[in-house]
């Protein structure tokens, strides 16, 4: 992690979706409100100040009941129109100061001078005045129901919410349900909540903050727009996974508040927070504060806690912030304006965050801090959870540095390799690694093979008598992913790069045949027999590398060398969650099938296709990389209208799963020389000990196992092939 990660996270635009007004008061604001009171209004004002200071002390371990007590005490300070106004303005400005650019405040209206309207109007006035001051933050308001106050009071708040939701829809966007869960039955409020939904307003409900499975299930079946906390939905805290399953099916975003949960002792530690479980199961979430004043935190601090606890990269933290915009209750045009702010910051900080290393160098030691990354990667995978680890160095690699500053900044090649198919060779200009200054290879030949399911397309480099190598691309990519790398490899290699079924220019599987991991193993063997290869090598990127690893274990006598780029193996499936993953994959596949039946994809512009892939890979692909992949991965269907060539069913996760035990068994069978190249900012699919265990298993039968780390993102082999070409070329010496 970069030393200035705290500074960057503070400067990063963020969206706060779960902030209680009274719980967000800082001690400085509380002091202002105390100063408003006189001895006549509060005789024990100094004692009140002492109690609040203690309860707001982050070192004081509070129970959930104590947290509710804090609100009761603070409510004594916000009991006038002026104090509510001051509280609102201060909270907004404090969030804006840490670059929160979107804020949803929530508050439970209380009667001021006999009317809850007075309370709410004071809050709205504070929001309006901040807008007039041009404070750089968009603020929305949720009125809250406090369940401890009963249904009758809740009805008043619901009616006011609906009224203001129409009269001041620029501010009031919906309703929050909060309060002590033990004080009432949530189903008593359902008619009121449905009334809010029917009025077209948004609904968020505090859910499973404490253990109550029946209530949590009832709320999830109500299908609010978001839920708060969701702590006791995690199977790590309750015996049954049925609530998690229900949450996965509903796809309801969750407002996660780590420090709040820790201080209130609903989770034992940050490391045990259910964020990790939700991440693993693809549940959408937003990082929030809950009550930044009560818990002595800030949204930037929560981002830093998440980053350090789970070893997430800065680019991953930015992706969390970016995705949170999808879950806001802002209007669509407001979301678009917010995205422009986020993108502007991303552009200005591209080098610091999305390209966290300023130089393209090979790592020659093990001095990286543990890092982790998350990829909501709709282009490479549906949802991938990835955990990074320290580099395991099996050999010393000479460190090289790219010379061109623009190259450093954008991770782009200084010169684009010519693609003139009439030429018999290609040249790489100065600036490349010494071993690849000038490389001569045969120009690629396009091929189409007839298979059982249809045609399989691809391209072939190198002389007919060269050593056979099969190159396998990653999920949703195509053989173009190797276009910049293969010309830099030794000229004595006969490299076949194939578009696997449903990808690129290859035909998809028939409608009644789903895609599975083992299909790739079968596909590799089909190609080996087609070319009459008794012995050959494999190069695979991402899923292609995982399939190559599996094939090398199934057919160890056929593979002499194995190169895996940014992957070690297929993500193992835990026995206890296999039914959930299969269930989710089935639902997703059926949904995609229905969409296919309904009609073709809506065409998009070329620029939109590029943006979709760049954003979908969080910057792993850039425009030039897209141009290369789109030669096989995009087709024109109308004037300035394009669709992807890949089978839409590939957007669903495969329906076959592989246990860790099976993969370890196959790893013991691999006899080929193995080279694993990890890209430092690419996805890591498992915990460190799992990677190490697999690599140790490879060593039992393989005489040569190398693991090296190269700076870059998931598509470094495509965008900066020179950073790895010399490593691979050295690996293929002495064939």
pLDDT in tens, 69-93: 667 778 888 999 999 999 999 999 9
State the average pLDDT over residues 319-333: 95
Q: How far apart are the first and last CA of the chain?
A: 40
pLDDT(345) > 70 = yes
144 versus 591: the higher-pLDDT residue is 144
Q: Mean of the pLDDT values across residues 241-266?
A: 92
Which among 46-60, 300-314, 547-561 has the top mean pLDDT?
A: 547-561
| Residue 209 a catalytic site member | yes
How confident is the model at residue 111, as a pLDDT?
A: 94
pLDDT for res 311:
83
The whole-number pLDDT of residue 591 equals 87
Q: Are 103 and 111 in contact (CB under 8 A)?
A: no
pLDDT on residue 412? 25
Q: What pLDDT score does 660 carry?
A: 85
| Residue 599 predicted with pLDDT over 60 | yes
Of 150-164, 351-365, 488-502, 710-724, which gets the smallest average pLDDT?
351-365
The CA–CA distances, whole Å, from 199 to 104, 171, 531 equal 19, 16, 65
Q: Which carries the bigger pLDDT value, residue 359 or residue 710?
A: 710
Q: How confident is the model at residue 577 (pLDDT cuts 50, 70, 90)?
A: confident
355-413+428-735 folds as Rossmann fold (3.40.50)
Which of 523, 527, 545 shows the shortest CA–CA distance to 536?
A: 527
Higher model confidence: residue 415 or residue 338? 338
Percentage of the residues of the chain whose pLDDT score is greater than 90: 57
Say if residue 400's pLDDT is above 60. Answer: no
Q: What is the per-residue pLDDT for 131? A: 98
Residue 496: the pLDDT is 97
Flag whether pLDDT at 293 surpasses 70: yes
**pLDDT digits 0-9 by tens, 169-205:** 999 999 999 988 878 899 999 999 999 999 999 999 9
Tokens read off for 544: 């292609």
**Alpha carbons 495 and 492: distance in angstroms, whole number:** 9
pLDDT at 575: 77
pLDDT at 431 > cutoff 80: no
Domain boundaries, the chain: 10-348, 355-413+428-735
User: Would you state the pLDDT for residue 382?
Assistant: 26
Residue 29 clears pLDDT 90, i.e. is over it: yes
Q: At what angle do helices 116-132 and 151-167 cross, to 10 degrees?
A: 40
Q: How far apart, in whole angstroms, are the C-alpha atoms of residue 379 and residue 255?
A: 25
pTM to 2 decimals?
Answer: 0.57
- pLDDT of res. 654: 79
Statement: residue 394 has pLDDT above 80: no
CATH fold of 10-348 reads TIM Barrel (3.20.20)
Asked if residues 242 and 272 have their Cβ atoms less than 8 Å apart, the reply is no
Express as a percent the part of the chain with pLDDT over 70. 81
**Which of 56-65, 102-111, 618-627 tops mean pLDDT?**
102-111
How deeply is 197 buried, as exposed, middle or buried, from its count of CB atoms within 10 A (0-12, 13-18, 19+)?
Answer: middle
Q: Tell me, rounded to whole angstroms, the distance of Cα 426 from its chain centroid.
A: 38
pLDDT of residue 488: 96
CA–CA–CA angle 442, 448, 449 (5° rounding):
115
What mean pLDDT comes out for the span 30-44? 71
- Residues facing residue 20 across a β-bridge: 106
Q: Rounded mean pLDDT of 599-610?
A: 91
Which one from 94, 104, 209, 686 is the annotated catalytic residue?
209
Quick check: 409 and 699 in contact, CB under 8 A?
A: no
Classify strands 634-638 and 641-644 as parallel, antiparallel or unpaired. Answer: antiparallel
Mean pLDDT of the chain: 82
Query: For residue 174, what are its two tokens?
Result: 């919906």
């Amino acid at each position: 992690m970069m030393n200035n990660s705290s500074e960057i996270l503070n400067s990063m635009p963020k969206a706060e979706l779960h902030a209680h007004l009274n719980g967000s008061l800082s001690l400085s604001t509380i002091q202002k409100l105390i100063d408003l009171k006189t001895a006549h209004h509060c005789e024990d004002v100094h004692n009140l100040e002492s109690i609040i200071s203690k309860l707001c002390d982050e070192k004081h371990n509070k129970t959930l009941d104590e947290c509710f007590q804090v609100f009761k005490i603070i409510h004594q300070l916000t009991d006038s129109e002026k104090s509510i106004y001051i509280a609102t303005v201060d909270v907004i400005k404090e969030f804006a100061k840490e670059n929160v650019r979107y804020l949803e405040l929530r508050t439970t209206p209380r009667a001021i001078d006999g009317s809850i309207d007075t309370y709410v109007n004071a809050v709205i006035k504070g929001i309006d005045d901040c807008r007039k001051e041009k404070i750089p933050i968009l603020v929305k308001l949720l009125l809250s129901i406090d369940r401890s106050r009963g249904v009758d009071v809740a009805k008043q708040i619901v009616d006011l919410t609906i009224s203001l939701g129409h009269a001041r829809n620029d501010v009031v966007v919906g309703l929050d349900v909060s309060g002590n869960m033990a004080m009432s039955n949530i189903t008593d409020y359902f008619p009121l909540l449905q009334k809010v939904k029917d009025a077209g307003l948004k609904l968020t409900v505090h859910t499973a903050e404490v253990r109550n499975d029946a209530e949590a299930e009832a709320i999830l079946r109500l299908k609010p727009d978001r839920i708060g906390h969701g702590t006791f939905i995690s199977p790590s805290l309750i015996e049954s996974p049925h609530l998690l399953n229900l949450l996965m099916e509903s796809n309801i975003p969750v407002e996660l508040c780590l420090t709040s949960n820790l201080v209130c002792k609903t989770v034992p530690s940050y490391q045990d927070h259910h964020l990790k479980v939700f991440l693993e199961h693809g549940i959408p979430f937003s990082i929030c504060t809950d009550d930044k004043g009560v818990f002595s935190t800030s949204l930037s601090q929560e981002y830093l806690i998440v980053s350090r606890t789970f070893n997430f990269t800065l680019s991953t933290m930015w992706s969390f912030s970016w995705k949170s915009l999808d879950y806001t209750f802002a209007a669509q045009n407001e979301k678009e304006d917010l995205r422009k702010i986020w993108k502007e910051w991303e552009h200005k900080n591209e080098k610091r965050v999305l390209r966290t290393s300023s130089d393209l160098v090979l790592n020659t030691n093990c001095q990286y801090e543990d890092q982790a990354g998350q990829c909501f990667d709709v282009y490479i995978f549906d949802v991938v959870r990835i955990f990074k680890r320290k580099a395991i160095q099996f050999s010393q690699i000479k460190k090289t540095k790219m010379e061109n500053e623009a190259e450093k900044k954008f991770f782009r090649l200084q010169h684009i390799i010519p693609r003139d198919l009439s030429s018999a060779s290609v040249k790489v200009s100065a600036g490349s690694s010494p071993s690849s200054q000038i490389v001569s290879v045969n120009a690629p030949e396009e091929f189409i093979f007839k298979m059982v399911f249809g045609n399989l397309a691809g391209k072939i480099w190198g002389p007919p008598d060269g050593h056979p190598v099969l190159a396998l691309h990653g999920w949703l990519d195509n053989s173009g992913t190797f276009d910049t790398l293969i010309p830099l490899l030794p000229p004595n290699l006969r490299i076949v790069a194939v578009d696997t079924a449903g990808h690129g220019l290859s035909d998809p599987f028939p409608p009644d045949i789903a895609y599975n991991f083992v299909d790739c193993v079968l596909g590799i063997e089909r190609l080996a027999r087609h070319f009459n290869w008794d012995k050959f090598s494999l190069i695979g990127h991402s899923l292609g590398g995982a399939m190559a690893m599996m094939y090398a274990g199934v057919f160890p006598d056929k593979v002499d060398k194995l190169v895996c780029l940014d992957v070690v193996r297929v993500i193992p499936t835990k026995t206890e969650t296999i039914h959930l993953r299969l269930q989710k994959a089935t639902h997703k596949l059926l949904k995609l099938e229905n969409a296919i039946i309904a009609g073709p994809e809506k065409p998009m512009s070329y620029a939109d296709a590029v943006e979709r892939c760049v954003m979908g890979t969080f910057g792993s692909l850039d425009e030039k990389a897209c141009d290369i992949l789109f030669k096989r991965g995009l087709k024109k269907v109308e004037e300035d209208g394009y669709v992807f060539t890949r089978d839409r069913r590939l957007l669903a996760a495969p329906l076959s799963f592989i246990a860790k035990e099976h993969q370890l068994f196959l790893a013991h069978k691999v006899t080929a020389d193995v080279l694993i190249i990890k890209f430092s900012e690419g996805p890591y699919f498992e915990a460190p000990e799992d990677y190490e265990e697999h690599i140790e298993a490879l060593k039992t039968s393989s005489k040569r196992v190398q693991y090296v780390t190269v700076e870059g993102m998931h598509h470094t082999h495509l965008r900066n092939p020179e950073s790895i070409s010399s490593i691979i070329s050295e690996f293929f010496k002495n064939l």
